Amino acid sequence: MQVWPGQTYPLGATYDGAGTNFAVFSEAARRIELCLLHDDGTQTAVELRETDAFVRHAYLPGVMPGQRYGFRVHGPYDPARGHRCNPAKLLLDPYARALSGRIDWNEAVYGYHHGRPESRNDLDSAPHTMASVVVNPYFDWGDDRPPRTAYHETVLYEAHVKGLTMRHPDLPEELRGSYAALAHPAVIEHLTGLGVTALELMPVHQSVHDHRLADAGLANYWGYNTIGFFAPHNAYASWGDRGQQVLEFKSAVRALHRAGIEVILDVVYNHTAEGNHLGPTLSFRGLDNASYYRLAEDRRHYTDTTGTGNSLLMRSPHVLQLVMDSLRYWVQEMHVDGFRFDLAATLARQFHEVDRLSSFFDLVHQDPVVSQVKLIAEPWDLGEGGYQVGNFPPLWTEWNGKYRDTVRDLWRGEPRTLAEFASRLTGSSDLYQGDGRRPIASVNFVTCHDGFTLHDLVAYDEKHNEANGEENRDGERFNRSWNCGTEGPTDDPGIRALRARQMRNFVATLMLSQGVPMLSHGDEFGRTQGGNNNAYCQDNEVSWVRWPTPEDTGERELAAFVRRLVRLRREHPVFRRRRFLQGRPVPGAEDALSDIAWFTCDGTEMGPDDWESAQARSLMVFLNGRAISEPGPRGEPIADDSFLLLFHAHPEEQEFTVPPRHGRRWRVVVDTARPLAGDGTDGAGAVVKAGDRLTLTGRSLVVLQRPTEPYGPVGAA
CA distances from 461 to 69, 102, 168 (A): 51, 39, 30
Question: Chain centroid to CA 484: how far?
Answer: 28
Secondary structure (H, E, C), 175-211: HCCCHHHHCCHHHHHHHHHHCCCEEEECCCEEECCCH
Contacts (Cβ under 8 Å, ≥6 apart) of 297? none
Beta strand 156-159 with 516-520 is parallel
Exposure of 636 by Cβ count < 10 A (0-12 exposed, 13-18 middle, 19+ buried)? exposed
CA–CA separation, 505 and 615 (whole Å): 19
User: Which is catalytic among the residues 378, 523, 595, 640?
Assistant: 378
Can 33 be counted among the known catalytic residues? Answer: no
CA–CA separation, 16 and 138 (whole Å): 10
Residue 420: closest CA among 652, 577, 597, 617: 617
CA–CA separation, 248 and 231 (whole Å): 12
Can 640 be counted among the known catalytic residues? Answer: no
CA–CA separation, 67 and 131 (whole Å): 9
CA–CA separation, 309 and 276 (whole Å): 4
Per DSSP, helices labelled H in 333-453 are 344-347, 359-366, 401-412, 418-425, 429-432
607 phi/psi in degrees, rounded to 5: -115, 175
CA distances from 36 to 44, 90, 649, 700 (A): 5, 11, 65, 64
Q: Which amino acid makes up residue 614?
A: A
DSSP string, 90-107: PBPPTT-S-EES-----G
Neighbours of 708 (CB within 10 A): 16
E strands, 611-675, where?
Answer: 618-623, 642-648, 654-657, 665-671
What is the enclosing helix (H) or strand (E) of 376?
strand 374-377
Compute, in degrees rounded to 10, the torsion defined by CA atoms 526, 527, 532, 536: -140
As a whole number of Å, the end-to-end CA separation of the chain is: 89
User: Which is catalytic among the residues 33, 241, 337, 342?
Assistant: 342
In contact, 454 and 593? CB cutoff 8 Å: no
Contacts (Cβ under 8 Å, ≥6 apart) of 342? 203, 224, 266, 267, 268, 269, 270, 378
Burial 180-194 (b: 16+ CB within 10 A, else e): bbbbbeebbebbeeb
CA–CA separation, 68 and 497 (whole Å): 57
According to DSSP, residue 296 is labeled: -
Per DSSP, helices labelled H in 397-451 are 401-412, 418-425, 429-432
**Residues with active-site annotation:** 342, 378
